[in-house]
Structures are given as structure tokens and as C-alpha cells.
């Protein structure tokens, strides 16, 4: 379930709970239990989402660092080849 869906359900159940309390309905405890369960589910979803976000951020950071290192090595190799060609040209002249 999406966070917004859970929040909407909780609000709806809270409204039902208020109505049930006013009418003395016996379903009050069941509604409280359902609200508590959905609230716990919402908190678990928030924790899971945060963990997945941090994992994704970590993977992207590592991927970016690896790509930057590959680019660095590529350009260092190009610079090395240019220097070597420059030295060869000097020797030729």
C-alpha cells in the first residue's frame, strides 16, 4: 500500500471511531485495533522506504565514484600517451 492510501484509511477509520464512540458502538475496540495495525504498517513502510532510499543513494554514490575513477584513468592514459608521443617527436627532431 502507498503511504497516502494508508493515511487516508487511518483518517477514515478515525472518523468511524469517533462516530462509534458517540453512538456507543461495540466495534470501537475493533476500530482502535485496526487503526493501530494500519499505523504500525505505515511506520514499517516509512522505515522500509527510508532504508531503500539510503541503499539506492549508496549504490548511486558508489557507481558515480567508479565512473569518475574510470574517467580519471582514461584521461591519465591519454595524457601519458600524449607525453610519450611528444617525447618521441622531440627525439625524432
Q: Classify burial at 16, counting beta carbons within 10 Å of its beta carbon; exposed 0-12, middle 13-18, buried 19 or more.
A: middle
| Nearest Cα residue to 31 out of 46, 9, 7, 1 | 9
57 has pLDDT over 80:
yes
- Global pTM? 0.57
Structural domain total, the chain: 1
Rounded Cα distance, 39 and 90, in Å: 76
Segment 44-73 mean pLDDT: 95
For 17-39, how does the pLDDT look when each residue is reduced to its tens digit (9 = 90+)? 777 776 666 667 777 888 899 99
Tally of helices (H runs) and strands (E runs) in the chain: 2, 0
- Domain range for 21 is 3-92
Rounded Cα distance, 12 and 82, in Å: 70
Amino acid at each position: 500500500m502507498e503511504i497516502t492510501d494508508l493515511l487516508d484509511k487511518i483518517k477514515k477509520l478515525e472518523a468511524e471511531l469517533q462516530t462509534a464512540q458517540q453512538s456507543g458502538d461495540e466495534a470501537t475496540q475493533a476500530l482502535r485495533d485496526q487503526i493501530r495495525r494500519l499505523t504500525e504498517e505505515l511506520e514499517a513502510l516509512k522505515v522500509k522506504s527510508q532504508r531503500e532510499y539510503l541503499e539506492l543513494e549508496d549504490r548511486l554514490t558508489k557507481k558515480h565514484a567508479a565512473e569518475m575513477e574510470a574517467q580519471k584513468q582514461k584521461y591519465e592514459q591519454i595524457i601519458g600517451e600524449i607525453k610519450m608521443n611528444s617525447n618521441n617527436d622531440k627525439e625524432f627532431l
